[in-house]
């Protein structure tokens, strides 16, 4: 929790004066779809980071089979697919976007009840 949650909070506090003085800047946090949709094998991960076994599965293009069955694209996302969203959020064109959740998840959360 210290590394995955508290560090983000502390870094934001330290960066705030610098970002404010610069007149622009972005902080983009990445987390898991487990915070939006139920991933039974990763309940603790919803508040922290991926367990090592899940990371190893993602590196090899596999994941929890139940999760992939629910994802319309039937695969895990590629780093370039996620990084494109992060890059957009760091552009001036997105400067009016604040405090939002973007699910870059291949459609996994499309059927999640509000």
Per-10-residue mean pLDDT for the chain, 114 residues long? 83 93 88 71 61 44 57 84 93 92 86 64
Q: What is the pLDDT of residue 30?
A: 85
Structure tokens at 91: 């552009």
- What is the distance between the alpha carbons of residues 32 and 37, in angstroms, rounded to a whole number? 9
For 98, counting Cβ atoms within 10 Å of its Cβ (0-12 exposed, 13-18 middle, 19+ buried), the class is exposed
Check residue 68 and give its pLDDT: 60
Alpha helices (H) in 1-114, listed in sequence order: 7-22, 52-59, 65-70, 79-89
pLDDT for the residue numbered 33: 74
Q: Which residues are catalytic?
A: 45
């Amino acid at each position: 929790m210290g590394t995955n949650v508290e560090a983000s909070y502390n870094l934001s506090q330290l960066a705030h004066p610098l970002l404010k003085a610069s007149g622009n800047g972005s902080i983009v946090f990445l987390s898991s779809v487990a915070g939006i949709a139920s991933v039974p094998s990763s309940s603790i991960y919803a508040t922290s980071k991926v367990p090592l076994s899940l990371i190893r599965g993602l590196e090899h293009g596999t994941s929890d089979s139940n999760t992939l069955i629910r994802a319309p694209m039937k695969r895990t996302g590629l780093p370039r697919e996620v990084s494109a969203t992060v890059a957009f959020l760091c552009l001036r064109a997105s400067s009016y976007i604040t405090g939002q959740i973007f699910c870059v998840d291949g459609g996994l959360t499309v059927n999640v009840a509000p």
